[in-house]
Amino acid sequence: MNLIENTDLDIWLRYVDDLTDGEVPGYTTLDVRLGWRPRDNVGFSLVGRNLLDDSHPEFLMDYIEISNSEVELSIYGKITWHL
């Protein structure tokens, strides 16, 4: 969504139901991106991922030796420059 000229706001809200027979509980997650393009070839973004929880499990594997996967809350910046 364009807020003003050269500024974008993207919001992703999603729900995932229980996985693997209830071993991974359902969760809702929110990701947000605010981007600004001062020039056609330069962009700056501030992104927040998994903003509703400190972390949530993605999957559990008990029958093979793989680490369980969790997604943590994260905030980061991004600079894009196209030549």
**Least confident residue range of 10-19, 23-32, 58-67:** 58-67
Cβ-based neighbours of 74, under 8 Å, separated by 6 or more: 48, 49, 50
DSSP 8-state code for residue 62: T
Q: What pLDDT does 74 receive?
A: 92
Is 0.85 surpassed by the pTM of this model? no
CA distance 41 to 25: 42
Name, in order, each residue with C-beta under 8 angstroms of 27's C-beta and a sequence gap of 6 or more.
15, 16, 53, 56
Q: Which of these, 28, 31, 32, 24, lies nearest to 70 by C-alpha position?
A: 24
